[in-house]
Amino acid sequence: MPYSDKDMFHLAVDCVIFGFDGEHLNLLLYKRDFEPEKGSWSLMGGFLQKKETLDDAAYRVLARITGMRDIYMEQLSAFSEVDRDPAARVVSMAYYSLINIQDYREDLLKKHGAQWFSINEIPSLVFDHSEIVDKALRRLKRRAKYQPIGFELLPETFTITQLRLLYEAIYQEKLEPANFRRKIISMNLLDRLPIKDMSNSKKGAYLYAFNKERYEEYEASGYSFEL
């Protein structure tokens, strides 16, 4: 039998799922209901199936956990320390995804024993999952500066303040409001809508929408997003 003299091991995917609640960047975790480390907090994941690619497996896990399929996902890195899982030799390909937290189904939280945690209050995680999350956060910060992926974490319409709070949550630093507004408006990537969000003041704040088609046209002509 070909390869019969080769070592055998398991291949898995682990998914870092980020969401934004209006103030904080959040991470979706669940309590493991099987050994090893039963009852510990963990990333969402699963093993690669015979007829799947790694991307297929990650999308399957994300769909099962979030109930959504059309979401942003990016392959992060492989994690292959020999003793990373005490039950067996497991190599994991990590992915991270960005979802609009308002679209997440509450029934799935209960079904999977899942919970959202602020990235500043992440509990102790199993195996090397803290290392995976740290790497995903670093990747997200880099991507958000040079690509408009941050909009994946927002509803279709938002205020400039909500957008600024999102980037503050990603960068973990305060941004000067006037400078941020001037910069983002100058990019000509937002469409101002003729309606206002009246929830925070009597005057209200105009709602905006990200114009993805315009961004793609700009990008095709050599435009470089930088925030």
Assess whether 186 and 123 both reside in one domain: no
Q: Residues 6 or more apart from 12 whose CB is under 8 A from it?
A: 45, 46, 47, 48, 90, 91, 92, 93
Residues 118 and 186 in one domain: no
What pLDDT is stored for residue 1 in this prediction?
Answer: 65
- C-alpha 160/C-alpha 17 separation (Å) is 24
Q: How confident is the model at residue 167 (pLDDT cuts 50, 70, 90)?
A: very high
Return the pLDDT at 43: 97
Q: What is the CATH number of the domain that holds 192?
A: 1.10.10.10
Q: Are 52 and 121 contained in the same domain?
A: yes
49-52-55-61 Cα dihedral, nearest 10 degrees: -40
Q: Which domain holds residue 137?
A: 10-145
CATH number of the domain bearing residue 131: 3.90.79.10
For the chain, the domain total comes to 2
Same domain, 109 and 44: yes
Q: Which comes out higher in pLDDT, residue 50 or 202?
A: 50
pLDDT-wise least confident of 6-15, 36-45, 79-88, 200-209? 200-209
Question: Of 98, 115, 145, at which residue does a domain stop?
Answer: 145
Residue 64 or residue 199, greater confidence: 64
Give pLDDT, residue 124: 97
Which residue is it, tokens 């469409």?
Answer: 191
- Please tell me the pTM assigned to this model: 0.93
* Residue-wise pLDDT tens digits, 68-98: 888 999 999 999 999 999 999 999 999 999 9
Residue 54 within any structural domain of the chain: yes
Residue 223 has what pLDDT?
Answer: 87
Question: 85 and 15 share a domain?
Answer: yes
User: What pLDDT is recorded for position 151?
Assistant: 96
Average pLDDT in the chain: 94
Whether the per-residue pLDDT at 201 is higher than 80: the answer is no
**Are residues 62 and 68 in contact, defined by beta-carbon separation less than 8 angstroms?**
yes
Query: Does 2 fall in a domain?
Result: no
Containing H/E element for 145?
helix 129-146
Rounded to an integer, what distance in angstroms lies between the CA atom of residue 190 and that of residue 215?
A: 9
